[in-house]
Structure formats: structure tokens, C-alpha cells
Chain A
């Protein structure tokens, strides 16, 4: 079965080609059938391979064709099937399929329906290439490919120049990270003589390698992850990326693409864990990002922006866990996060659909009556992300927190703080949207309606997954008697370094209970403010305290980047153009040219045509020559 893995990316690619080539003449109904079913086909193949993998958990390499050969450098198109890649494949095709179905409803009235689906198919293709490739360069192909699709989809409504700007920003910021990634690959080849995962990882432990070089490789690769997974300092593109259609935010900017960095670190867990420095670096960047984004999310009023910052924050938390060596726990949270964050975004899309396009939560309220399915499913998503048992987020977050706790108490406290803030801002969002009185205008109010089946069914499936997905990583403390604990860790152990939990059961239980109690308190706080006291966030013009203003404006980070990078770069290049290029180099070249002309003008004056002058000149010259020769001798 494993050798059919190439079918998985092939289906979306074929669908993309058909829709892209015949986009104009293709009717909507064909696209509606073709685009989602291609992903479904991939999903089915993935499931079959997964079942196979369960009984025989070995890595299988499936070569397709040779790509770049120069000397001893080889980069080929070949796929790697192992527990990690098949797990990601399942999530990508599974969630991807649901979002395709959802999109058929959400984008129904869109003029460019076919263009949208061709991009979406292409995205899935590249994402699958990213996780299924068996070498670093093929990962990079997927890596940049998803960046391209992200660019295309953020700027889907390119008529709006702000959206197009957001798309450009995303692409360029990702490129900054990509430069690090590509240099990392080159250095890696220099050290290991190969870019194939198995050949590289096989050398670790058998060959002595300079630790400094490993640190450089891992830091460079991680710079790539900073861009793609929106970590400090390259995170500002992700909130802007919300300019794209909402299902895109769900699929690309929450569930799959932004987790590429985590996949990469998990894939190279053997390599990363060799460098103490890099691990600390990742943990610090991760927790800093998580805190920063969580504080910003507390005050945002745009439903998608809250979710976007929440995504940045959750990714930061995962990186913090990875930095503490909790690779499989990180992957676990990626999986559960994919379910509930996709659910939340799609729920938000449903809300925006009902609200006739308005995204401001200050204009919402009381939507639960008119949108019951969205309400229930959104609530499930909110509970899942807040981390209440037995919902999925609880298990994965708990495992991460436990492993962070073992590693560092300070990081644990900060990570806990992030979780508490998450619970607070998510329930703030939930209460303001669904509970209380409707605050928008009457036209919108009368139009509010539940979304069509094509949108609500994916919501229901995802909420089901958000409830049960946690059981794949049942904690030791609760499940050891049942013998079902940490299934995922066992499954992943063949491809990812799994941390050994040494924590005592009592400590683990205590941590779990304390976390849950604190989270419940946060939820009640949110309820107190936004339901009982009916607080509504003030309008943008209202005066704010200085601290709040800074956070509300996202710490002015965009403005700071503008002032210290973008503007100076532009100014320097303009000045260089004027003074070095035009007046300097070209001026010099022209000066040489004109001075030759001028000198020859001067010399021309000697060509008088008068014979007498020539004779005199000749005599003087001959005398001068003789004198010179004589003196010299």
C-alpha cells in the first residue's frame, strides 16, 4: 500500500490542473464536485496507508523521479511514509476535505469560484509535498509552494489594494525566513554530505560532528520556521493574512500551513535535540511569541483577528514545548489544534456569513438563537481550546504543560499564563458574539440566518473531532490503568524523539487539577464581565489608558518595522540611485567620455593647416628628442 503514496499529492494536483486550464469553461457544479472529491480521494488513500502503518510501523521511501544532480549533490523527488508524515497527511487531507466542502457553501456567490478552488487544490498539493518529501529540498519546495498559495489566497480579492498588500507582506516575510532555511540546508549538506533525512539522521550518534555547526544548522532552519509559523520577529504577516476568504484562514493560516515549522522541527527532532542552545532559543522565542500574541488577542474586536492572534499564541506555545524536548506533545497539539482552530475559524466564517460580512464583535451579540448550529459548535471549539476535559485541547495542552514543567518552572508559569489568557479571550469572544442582545443595525439583524448544510456539516464533524481527538494521547495519570495512555507517543516514536515522562502521578494529577480550576475561574471572569456586567469594548476613538492603547495597537510593531526597516531601505536605495548610480559612477563614465572629446578638441587646434607651423613644430620636436637622448646617455 505504501508505494501508492504518490497518489496522495497527485489527486489534488490533477484537480488543480483541470480547473486551472479549463477554468473559464468549467461549470460551477463540476468544480464543486471535482475539487473536494480529489481531496477526499487523497484522504482515503492516506487512511489505507495509515492502517497499514499501524501494523507495520516502518519508514518506507518511494522514489518518483530524479530532480537535481550535481556532483555528489542529489535532490530527488521521492516520498517518505512514516508515522509522522502519515499523521500530518491525515490531518491535511481530512481537515482539507472538510474545508473544501465548507467552501462550496461559503464561496457560492463568488464570481471567481473556480479560481478559488484551483488555488485551494494547489495549496493542498504543496502542503502534502512538504510533509511527504523525503529530503530537505523537497520540503523546501512544499515550503515555498504553500507560501505562494498563501500569497494568492490572501490576495484573492486583489482589487482591494490593502488585501493585495497583505498578500505581498506575507510572501516577503516568509521569504526572509526562507533564506535562513535554504542556507540551513546548504550548511547541512556541507556537514553531512546529504540532504536525505535518513542519511542525515543515521549519521547522528555514529559520526562525531562539531556542535557549533549543528547549532548553526538548526538555528538557520528554525529561522525558516519563524517565518512560516509566524514567530517573533516574523509574525506580523499572519494577522494581516486574515484578508483572505475565511475558509482559507481556517485551512492555511490556522490548521495546516502555519504548522509547517513545527513539522520541520519534529522531523529533525534528533538533530535539534543535539543543540542545547537552539532548544533554549526555540523555547524562549516560542513563549515570548505566545505571551505577546495572547495579550494582543485580549483586546481585539475583529472576530478573525482574535482567532489569528490566538493561532500565533498557540503556535508559540507549541514551539516552547518543542524547545523543552516535548516533540511528540507538540505534534499532538498540532493535531488537536488543527481540529478546533479550523472549527473556530469556520464558525467565525459562518457568523460573518450571517452578519452580511461584518467582522466586528461589537456589532454582534445574541446570535445563538438565530444560528444554533454555529453556536453549539463554536462553543465546543471554545471549550476545546480553553482546555477543559475531556475535550481535545485539554489533553494535548496538558501534556505540553507537564513536559514544560519538568524542564523549567519559569517557562511553565508563563505557559500557564498563556493558557489562562487563552481561556479568557476565547470566552470573551464567545460571549460577545453569541450571548446577550444583538448590537448591530436592523438591516443586518433581519438578515441573520443559519448557514447552509454544506457549511454546518463540516462544523459538526470538526466539533466531533474536537471532542474525541484528545484520546489519542490519553495522559498517563488518567489512563495507566486502562492501558491506553500515550498511544500517539508510541506511534510517533519510530520517527520522532519522544520525551520520557518521569513525573510522578500525583504531581501530574495536581497540575492537571490546578490548571483546570484556574481555567474555569477565567471563564467565569469572562462571563462576569461580558454577560453579567454586559461590558462592550469601546469604540476605537474612545480614550484608553496608555498601557491598553499600546496593546490594542499590537505594540506598534508594524509601525516600528516600517520605521526601522522599510523606510530606511527605501530611502537608502533612492539616495544610492541618485548619488552613487547617477552622479557617481555614471557621472564618472560620462566625465571620461566628455573629457576625451574636450582634449581632442584642444588637440585639434594644432591642426592649423599652416605649413610654417608644422615645420616649426617639427624642428622643436627633433631638437627636444635629441636633447633627451643626449642627456640620457
Chain B
């Protein structure tokens, strides 16, 4: 029952929200998100103490002819992502406070629908259900970007939509292909694991590529990333937050659950190349971030670098790498949303996010500058921030895979500091100019949000075991499964 509640709670609030006035709707949405957050926390906590509880499993027949089940289950891996989703959405909703947005009720409703779809993607244990939620998540975000976005929104959103849809089609093909090879035509994830492992190496490679296309576009990984910067820049702040904070984790999560264990031999053959592509993402994204003058675009490129490292860690299929990826998904979600909120605060006041036009804001708003710095350091992965734990484990995992690759991936340590501090320098340091003089102090609401972000960054930097312990067992199982299958082939 609990998982079902987790899934539908946000949507249940949508009709209630629509009943209220525009002014009230923000509060209702926040209440919805906070309720969901409490349920999320409770579920996460319960899972830690009693993982076998029946409340974490919901399985009913859905489409009998296809043998598809409506099967949701909370487990060690997706509980982290559900935690991330339920934790971040209240922040995203609260960031609309004190901002004038037209059609706010529709905007907030879309966000809540989006949350349901995201939770669904993470909880689904049935491939068809997973696919449905995967596509369902695209609709609200498409509308959010299209209706509420910036100047060029139509063209850019169209590109984003078509690009991701293109990838999804390959995923659908792959799902159908594996489904046809399951024992009793089942979409169940375990049947998929069984069936996938029995495919020939060549078949597995093709299935791998088809899945990879869908996930790599979503994440995005070089060279399939060019929709991302434009979309992030043009989407409304909350849209960017949803995309970068949670939605891209659909891709990285799917790599762990729906790609590698389904076709272990495909992974074995392709891992070298996909890791190289991921590491290229890291270096390339960082280099691109170095040249940007626009703060939001710089954040977009830096995100390509960060998620590239996550993907690389997953493809190593060793415990440190995948656990690091798990942790970095959570950390990146928090940090990137916080950074886009910082960007929103600046753009809202200054009406620009061109960095060379800014400067000296640290003179005007001290609290803002401190909190911004802490958030930035989380992204730079300073020890005792959440970013460090993930980055260290990821580098550790990559190192076990290959010692040369890790040196390139490690450049993120240097480049990250370089572009982030450069941005901080341009925006915050120096003397104020005519524009930034008027920056003023930040509001209480903004202060609370930023302080919560900063608190989370330090909290998760100090106590990573709270998260890592929960996911370790299941990740071990997946890794063992993958290595068993690949080892069996070697024996044959």
C-alpha cells in the first residue's frame, strides 16, 4: 500500500489544488509536496529497518493479454531515488514563491503530475509499466518548457521532445525484443534478467545499444547532449530543476536496473566504449563550461560533466563505482537544483545571467554569498560536502576499471574548481557596478531555501552511510548477477 500511496499522492492533490485561488494554489502544492516528502522519508526509514515489509510491494494484474503487471516495489536502489524526488520537489515548488508566474495553477499541477511519473519510473518492476511512466514523465515537462519557457521555447522544446522520443522508440524495440524471449511472455524485471542473459552475445549487444540510446540521450552523454544546454537555458527555472535534478537520474538509474543486468554480455562488449564516451563527457562538458559567459548555460555544461562521471562509474560495474554513482545521483540532484535556484535569484533581480555584466554582489548581500559559496563547494566536491563522497567513490571505481581513464576523469577535480570559482569571481567579487548595486538582500523565503540546501550538502557530506548502507546489498546482487553471466560465457 505504501508504494501506491507514494505514487499517487501528488496527483491526488491536483484536483484539490485546482479548486483554490491562484494565490492559495502555491501553498496547496507545497503541502502536497511536503506530505509526499513525509511519506517518502517514512518509506525510506521503514525500508532501512524492515526491508521485507509487504507494504513495499504492490502487484496486480494490469493487461492480462500481454501478461503485464502493475508491479511497484521499493528496494535498496530505488528508495534512494524516491528519497531524492520527494526531497527535491518541495524545494522546487517553494522556489515559485515570490515569483510572478502566469497560469500558476496549471504550472504547479504539471509539476505534481511529473512527480508521480518520476516516482513511477523508479518504482516500476515491470518493463511495460516502466516504459509507460518513462514516457508519461515527458508530457508534463514538455508542457512546462513549452508554455512557461523563455524566448525560443517552441523550437528548442520541440527539439528536446523529438530527440528524447527518438531514443525512447529504440527502448521500446528493445523491451519488445526481450519480452518475446522471456519464458512465459512476461514483462517482469526478473524474467527480463533471465531472458536477457540467455540471448546470444550479438543479440545482447543490439539490445544494449538500443537501450543505451534512450538512456544516453536522457542523461545526456556525449555526443547526444546538444539538446540539453538550450533546453536548460530556455526552460523556466522549475523546469530546469526538474530536468537536471531528477529527470536525468531516470537515465542513470535505468543504466543500473534496466540495462546492464538485462544484457550483461552487451555490457561486457560495449563497456569500454561507453566508459570512454562518458569520460569524454566529463572532460568535454568541463571544457565547454569554461568558455561560457552565461551562468545558466555554464551550469548546464557543468552538469554534463558531472553526470558523465556518474555514468562512467556505473559502467565499471564494481561496488565502489556503482555506489559512488548512487550517492552522486543524490548529491548532484541537490546541488544542481540549488545552483539553478541561485541562478534564479540572480536573474530575478538583475534580469540577466550574463556573468560579465555582474560583479561585486558579495558586497551587497553577505548571507547570499556565504550560502552560494557552500552550494558551489558542494558542486566542486570539497571534502565534508556531499559532492566529495560521490566523486571520490566514482574515481575509486573507475580506477579499479582502468588507471588511464581515471586520470582524464579526474580532471573534473581541477576543471570543476576552475569554472565554478571563475563564475563566483565574476558574479560576486570585485566592486559593485550600476546594475549590481541594486541587488539588495535576499528574502526570508530565499534564505530558508538556500540554508536548507547548504545544510543538506554538509549533512550528506558527513553521514553518507545513511544512504550507502541501504543500497549496498542490492547493488552487490546486481553486480554479482552481471559477473556471473559474463563468467559463465567465458567457461563455455
A residues in contact (CB < 8 Å) with B: 20, 24, 66-71, 73, 137, 140-141, 144-145, 148, 151, 155, 158-161, 164-165, 168, 171-172, 175-176, 178-179, 182-183, 186-187, 189-190, 569-570, 572-574, 576-577, 581, 585-586, 589-590, 593
**Taking A67-B464, A148-B377 as contacts, is the C-beta distance between A589 and B226 under 8 angstroms?**
yes
Is A161 within 8 A of B430, CB to CB? yes
Within 8 A of A (CB), among B310-365: 319-320, 323-324, 360, 362-363
Is A164 within 8 A of B430, CB to CB? yes
Verify if B422 is at the interface (C-beta below 8 Å from A): yes
Is A164 within 8 A of B425, CB to CB? yes
Which of B162, B414, B468 sits near A175, CB closer than 8 Å? B414
Is B395 within 8 A of A182, CB to CB? yes
Which of A158, A179, A570 sits near B429, CB closer than 8 Å? A158
Pairs across A and B, CB under 8 Å, 7 listed: A69-B465, A73-B393, A172-B421, A179-B414, A577-B291, A581-B226, A581-B288
Verify if B59 is at the interface (C-beta below 8 Å from A): no
In the bound assembly, the distance between CA atoms of A324 and B477 in angstroms comes to 50
In the bound assembly, the distance between CA atoms of A218 and B13 in angstroms comes to 59
**Taking A67-B465, A70-B468, A141-B384 as contacts, is the C-beta distance between A574 and B414 under 8 angstroms?**
no
Is A159 within 8 A of B472, CB to CB? no
Q: How far is the CB of A574 from chain B (nearest CB, A)?
A: 5
In the bound assembly, the distance between CA atoms of A340 and B472 in angstroms comes to 52
Which of B162, B363, B429 sits near A161, CB closer than 8 Å? B429
Which residues of the other chain, B, contact A175 by a CB distance below 8 angstroms? 413-414, 417-418
In the bound assembly, the distance between CA atoms of A220 and B273 in angstroms comes to 27
**Taking A67-B462, A73-B396 as contacts, is the C-beta distance between A573 and B290 under 8 angstroms?**
yes
Is B429 within 8 A of A159, CB to CB? yes
Say whether chain B's binding surface is mostly helix, strand, loop, or mixed. helix
In the bound assembly, the distance between CA atoms of A182 and B399 in angstroms comes to 11
Q: Name the residue in B383, B400, B403, B469 with the highest tally of chain A Cβ atoms < 10 Å from its Cβ.
A: B383
**Taking A168-B421, A179-B414, A570-B291 as contacts, is the C-beta distance between A70 and B430 under 8 angstroms?**
no
In the bound assembly, the distance between CA atoms of A569 and B287 in angstroms comes to 8
Is B429 within 8 A of A70, CB to CB? no
Which residues of the other chain, B, contact A155 by a CB distance below 8 angstroms? 429
Is B290 within 8 A of A186, CB to CB? no
Is B430 within 8 A of A158, CB to CB? yes
Is B319 within 8 A of A183, CB to CB? no
Is A182 within 8 A of B392, CB to CB? yes
Which residues of the other chain, B, contact A581 by a CB distance below 8 angstroms? 226, 288
Is A159 within 8 A of B363, CB to CB? yes
**Taking A71-B472, A145-B383, A171-B421 as contacts, is the C-beta distance between A573 and B287 under 8 angstroms?**
yes
Verify if B159 is at the interface (C-beta below 8 Å from A): yes
Verify if B428 is at the interface (C-beta below 8 Å from A): yes
**Taking A73-B320, A159-B360, A159-B429 as contacts, is the C-beta distance between A593 and B399 under 8 angstroms?**
no
Which residues of the other chain, A, contact B406 by a CB distance below 8 angstroms? 183, 186
In the bound assembly, the distance between CA atoms of A575 and B430 in angstroms comes to 28
Question: Quick one: CB contact mask for B377-420 with A, threshold 8 Å, 1 for yes?
Answer: 10000111000010011011001100100110011011001100
**Taking A148-B377, A168-B422, A585-B223 as contacts, is the C-beta distance between A190 and B417 under 8 angstroms?**
no
Is A190 within 8 A of B319, CB to CB? no
Which residues of the other chain, A, contact B393 by a CB distance below 8 angstroms? 68, 70, 73
**Taking A182-B410, A573-B290, A576-B288 as contacts, is the C-beta distance between A593 and B383 under 8 angstroms?**
no
Q: How far is the CB of A503 from chain B (nearest CB, A)?
A: 42
Verify if B484 is at the interface (C-beta below 8 Å from A): no
**Taking A176-B414, A577-B288 as contacts, is the C-beta distance between A186 and B399 under 8 angstroms?**
yes
Which residues of the other chain, B, contact A20 by a CB distance below 8 angstroms? 370
Which residues of the other chain, A, contact B413 by a CB distance below 8 angstroms? 175, 178-179, 182
The residue of chain A having its C-beta at the shortest distance from the C-beta of B417 within the complex is A175
Q: How far is the CB of B324 from chain A (nearest CB, A)?
A: 8
Is B223 within 8 A of A68, CB to CB? no
Q: How far is the CB of A330 from chain B (nearest CB, A)?
A: 26
Which residues of the other chain, B, contact A141 by a CB distance below 8 angstroms? 383-384
Is B382 within 8 A of A144, CB to CB? yes
Which residues of the other chain, B, contact A573 by a CB distance below 8 angstroms? 287-288, 290-291
Is B468 within 8 A of A190, CB to CB? no
Say whether chain A's binding surface is mostly helix, strand, loop, or mixed. helix
**Taking A141-B384, A158-B430 as contacts, is the C-beta distance between A190 and B226 under 8 angstroms?**
no
Is A179 within 8 A of B410, CB to CB? yes
Which residues of the other chain, A, contact B384 by a CB distance below 8 angstroms? 141, 145
Is A574 within 8 A of B291, CB to CB? yes
Which residues of the other chain, A, contact B410 by a CB distance below 8 angstroms? 179, 182-183
The residue of chain B having its C-beta at the shortest distance from the C-beta of A141 within the complex is B383
The residue of chain B having its C-beta at the shortest distance from the C-beta of A112 within the complex is B366
In the bound assembly, the distance between CA atoms of A187 and B410 in angstroms comes to 13
Q: How far is the CB of A124 from chain B (nearest CB, A)?
A: 16
Is B430 within 8 A of A172, CB to CB? no
Which of B389, B399, B407, B462 sits near A190, CB closer than 8 Å? B399
The residue of chain B having its C-beta at the shortest distance from the C-beta of A180 within the complex is B410
Q: How far is the CB of B362 from chain A (nearest CB, A)?
A: 6
Which of B159, B383, B407, B464 sits near A140, CB closer than 8 Å? B383
Which residues of the other chain, B, contact A158 by a CB distance below 8 angstroms? 362, 428-430
Q: How far is the CB of A126 from chain B (nearest CB, A)?
A: 9
The residue of chain B having its C-beta at the shortest distance from the C-beta of A163 within the complex is B429
Which residues of the other chain, A, contact B400 by a CB distance below 8 angstroms? 190
Which residues of the other chain, A, contact B425 by a CB distance below 8 angstroms? 161, 164-165, 168
In the bound assembly, the distance between CA atoms of A569 and B288 in angstroms comes to 11
**Taking A189-B396, A576-B288 as contacts, is the C-beta distance between A159 and B431 under 8 angstroms?**
yes
Is B430 within 8 A of A159, CB to CB? yes
Question: Quick one: CB contact mask for B441-477 with A, threshold 8 Å, 1 for yes?
Answer: 0000000000000000000001011001100100000
Q: How far is the CB of B381 from chain A (nearest CB, A)?
A: 9
Which residues of the other chain, B, contact A69 by a CB distance below 8 angstroms? 465, 468-469
Which residues of the other chain, B, contact A137 by a CB distance below 8 angstroms? 383, 392
The residue of chain B having its C-beta at the shortest distance from the C-beta of A159 within the complex is B431
In the bound assembly, the distance between CA atoms of A146 and B202 in angstroms comes to 53
Which residues of the other chain, B, contact A176 by a CB distance below 8 angstroms? 414
Q: What are the nearest 6 A-B pairs in CB distance?
A: A141-B383, A586-B226, A164-B429, A573-B287, A71-B319, A158-B429
Which residues of the other chain, A, contact B382 by a CB distance below 8 angstroms? 144-145, 148
In the bound assembly, the distance between CA atoms of A593 and B462 in angstroms comes to 47
Is A144 within 8 A of B429, CB to CB? no
Which residues of the other chain, A, contact B429 by a CB distance below 8 angstroms? 155, 158-159, 161, 164
Q: How far is the CB of B25 from chain A (nearest CB, A)?
A: 35
Which residues of the other chain, B, contact A71 by a CB distance below 8 angstroms? 319-320, 323, 472
Which residues of the other chain, B, contact A183 by a CB distance below 8 angstroms? 395, 399, 406-407, 410
**Taking A69-B468, A164-B429 as contacts, is the C-beta distance between A593 and B377 under 8 angstroms?**
no
Q: How far is the CB of B68 from chain A (nearest CB, A)?
A: 32
Which residues of the other chain, A, contact B323 by a CB distance below 8 angstroms? 70-71
Q: How far is the CB of B75 from chain A (nearest CB, A)?
A: 18
In the bound assembly, the distance between CA atoms of A179 and B393 in angstroms comes to 14
Is A576 within 8 A of B287, CB to CB? yes
In the bound assembly, the distance between CA atoms of A189 and B162 in angstroms comes to 46
In the bound assembly, the distance between CA atoms of A164 and B423 in angstroms comes to 12
Which residues of the other chain, A, contact B366 by a CB distance below 8 angstroms? 24
Is A68 within 8 A of B290, CB to CB? no
Q: How far is the CB of B151 from chain A (nearest CB, A)?
A: 18
Is B417 within 8 A of A171, CB to CB? yes
Within 8 A of A (CB), among B110-140: none
Which residues of the other chain, B, contact A577 by a CB distance below 8 angstroms? 288, 291
Which residues of the other chain, B, contact A144 by a CB distance below 8 angstroms? 382-383
Which residues of the other chain, B, contact A593 by a CB distance below 8 angstroms? 159, 162
In the bound assembly, the distance between CA atoms of A198 and B362 in angstroms comes to 45
Q: How far is the CB of B285 from chain A (nearest CB, A)?
A: 10
Which residues of the other chain, B, contact A145 by a CB distance below 8 angstroms? 382-384
Q: How far is the CB of B404 from chain A (nearest CB, A)?
A: 11
Q: How far is the CB of A224 from chain B (nearest CB, A)?
A: 11
Q: Name the residue in B319, B324, B414 with the highest tally of chain A Cβ atoms < 10 Å from its Cβ.
A: B414
Which residues of the other chain, B, contact A189 by a CB distance below 8 angstroms? 396
